[in-house]
Chains A and B, each alone.
Chain A
């Protein structure tokens, strides 16, 4: 609950420590298994299979726990890595966790069945009702599979964010449910109090992080700042801005370019929180988001009532002006991705030269155009804007065309928010002209999760 308005940027050292601790944890996890092994565990093929299955379970579960830590909104990690990258890591790590736990389920049954010399289905039943907490473990496994399947790209595209989110939240229960069967039956825990202590501590730490940073802190902040919908403004075709009023909002220490997870306490919005970037730098009493109506939720934002209470989690994201190290910045916004760009413009100090490149396929998609023109007109010449409207082939966004548009492109800090292909072509252009990766700042998440 920091009341400090200043945002501190971690130097990356904190993240290095986090990486070291994560690695150490993995080492300890594997060690629990290896150190408790004996000749009996490798004396036959089936015993070896059983041992292998336990290793899969441990590493898989460790990955799952790590995955939760990645999205636990731990401030030092959020600031050092950036929320979108954390989510990407979470996404990449999670499938391994699921596969490893799947291997565990299969191989432990195979291994036991082999040692008992009975068919697999009988052993499955045996294992389920002869060991402790196995039904809970099975329940956890099923929930985990559900979360995995619904997060698979093709499945994810077919369902609403809301459905996906609720199923995904069950993963917490899955991880909790499977805990008891591990520590009560696992050969590396039974009779090894230190291993059990380590494992329990890991879970307690995970639970505490989630409770504190994902639930407690947001709740306290939301109540303290008393955020409510002030009005809804239609900005263009299918684009709405929601302006919210609160008290002492500067104490949130939010900056333009960052985003919050918003939950409107109104029928139809209660269950699910959505991440949207601020579309203007926050003031003491107002914050604003601008959303393009693509998903069910964003469309219904237009119908929000004034006075509706808003719960927020945040601010999140490392897409902030403080990360720039050059006196010149190039800000690229694609479509509604302009919103964090619009907000971050206000955060750059005097003397920073700004080139805003606004890419849209149609004239009417240039959301917030008037505001940007206004900012340019009042910038004393420190800011220029380039509208690139039309199909993709007219605007290649490669090194050549960008350098032509902004001669100092190669010596700039580059901020970009927009659809994936746009980000990738600009990333390549930046690489081609030799912009170091730490001067390329992209924000995929806060821009809008429903746009893919």
Chain B
């Protein structure tokens, strides 16, 4: 009896200690920011936006909110959109110059349009790279330029359509991910963060 109490005490103590240090992230809608070390290129930026940037972002207000920020040179971008994701953009200044010329900035008042390609993110099973299509500041489509193939296409087949839906619904990188495809989801999320940043959404 006494030992049963000791065991129970140990269990609660161990559980409590761990959960005090790293509580589960059940309230945040972003499940993917936990940081998967294997995802080398942008695992650091991904951890930060989830904590700070995400909740304030309202995609519908953005396009008219900063009509001038997109046509302007890329160097001003980090400072130009304080309301959107501050951290990811700050770390990707080098990625910008190549991708930014692609958008056809024909409608300055309606927000960005065009397709934006996120950084490739290598995950355990391969590489994930997301391309989003934006029209007037709205994400209308999201595709996986690269996704794990071969014996792990199970994840891709299952996850990519759902991730696409989530992306379009969220109008941001603020997605939940797909349970059972944590790697692919994580890669998608990380790549999407950079794509969204490039689009200036």
Mark A residues whose CB is within 8 Å of B: 15-16, 19-28, 30-32, 34-44, 47, 50-51, 111-112, 115-116, 126, 129-130, 187, 190-191, 193
Contacts and interface: CB of A to CB of B under 8 A. Distances in A.
A38 B19 contact: no
A20 B10 contact: yes
A38 B16 contact: no
Closest 4 interchain pairs by CB? A27-B14, A23-B10, A38-B31, A191-B36
A60 B125 CA distance: 28
A102 to B, nearest CB: 20
A122 B106 CA distance: 49
Nearest to B9: A23
Interface of B: 2-3, 6-19, 22-29, 31-32, 34-38, 124, 151-152, 154-155, 158, 176-180, 182-183, 185-186
Nearest to A16: B6
B10 A21 contact: yes
A120 B7 CA distance: 38
B24 A37 contact: yes
A130 B12 CA distance: 36
Contacts of B178: 40, 115
Given A22-B7, A34-B24, A27 B177 contact: no
B180 A112 contact: yes
A25 B9 CA distance: 11
Contact of B35 (A26, A27, A51, A191): A191
Contacts of B158: 115-116
Contacts, number: 126
Given A35-B22, A40-B31, A28 B14 contact: yes
A39 B28 contact: yes
B25 A39 contact: yes
User: Would you call the interface of chain A mostly helix, strand, loop, or mixed?
Assistant: helix
A111 B181 CA distance: 13
A35 B176 contact: no
B177 A38 contact: yes
A42 B26 contact: yes
Contact of A190 (B22, B29, B182): B182
B17 to A, nearest CB: 8
Contacts of A115: 158, 178-180
B23 A23 contact: no
Given A35-B22, A39-B31, 8 more contacts: A16-B3, A16-B6, A30-B14, A35-B23, A42-B26, A44-B179, A50-B179, A130-B155
A272 B14 CA distance: 40
A20 B6 contact: yes
A42 B26 CA distance: 8
A40 B176 contact: yes
B182 A187 contact: yes
Contacts of A130: 151-152, 154-155
A130 B158 CA distance: 12
Contacts of A30: 11, 14-15
A27 B12 contact: yes
A44 B162 CA distance: 14
Contact of A39 (B16, B29, B180, B183): B29
Given A16-B6, A39-B176, A27 B24 contact: no
Nearest to A81: B3
A26 B36 contact: no
22 contacts: A16-B3, A19-B10, A23-B8, A24-B11, A24-B13, A25-B14, A27-B12, A27-B18, A34-B15, A34-B24, A35-B22, A37-B24, A38-B28, A38-B31, A40-B185, A43-B179, A115-B158, A130-B154, A187-B182, A190-B182, A191-B37, A191-B38
Contacts of A31: 14-15, 17-19
B179 A40 contact: yes
Contacts of B176: 38-40, 43
A71 to B, nearest CB: 18
B13 A27 contact: yes
